[in-house]
Chain A
């Protein structure tokens, strides 16, 4: 079975801290994604990566950056966490091409105080 592993299930950080969310997949997928999930807003794409060191902005990239140094690992970075970044963060991976399904991690619930 495909496994997408997010490093933390719950995280509590202070305003202004630099935050790293890590995601690892074991299926050699080209694509990896970071989504943010908020009540009433569904899933919104923050960033995605289609290859090592390659990235593209999603719908809400402001306040975030990403890093993909190895194919299996995709990191989301909050340079200076703010309270409006309190949310559930979901990592996903999948093969290239339209009509491919995505595989999701269990999510990281981040609280910024």
Chain B
């Protein structure tokens, strides 16, 4: 069935370091892929989205490219800030077309000054 696997955290980086959070997926067809972010004490909010193979989603300096060949959607940022400390979730919609999303287990990022 459809599923999402994220790298385990927590990830601890110094400010201005390069970030990669790995996400791989199993899906029927070619669904959109999502990254959501959850800041401390808040709900999830959409960070970026890619709708088809080779598409690149980007927002707030974060990027992720939809790789059909490797079934991956890794999240990257060139220079992280303390304010990026949050939990990041990779997600995809299942093939059942109900509007649901399947989420990965989440990766906690802590950025130290």
Contact = CB atoms under 8 A, between A and B. Distances in A.
A51 B70 CA distance: 37
A41 B87 CA distance: 13
A30 B99 contact: yes
Contacts of A33: 100
A99 B55 CA distance: 14
Interface residues of A, number: 29
A19 interface: no
Interface in A37-86: 40-43, 45, 48, 50, 56, 58
B89 interface: yes
A42 B106 contact: yes
Contacts of A50: 98-99
A97 B99 contact: yes
B24 interface: no
Interface string B82-98: 00000001000101011
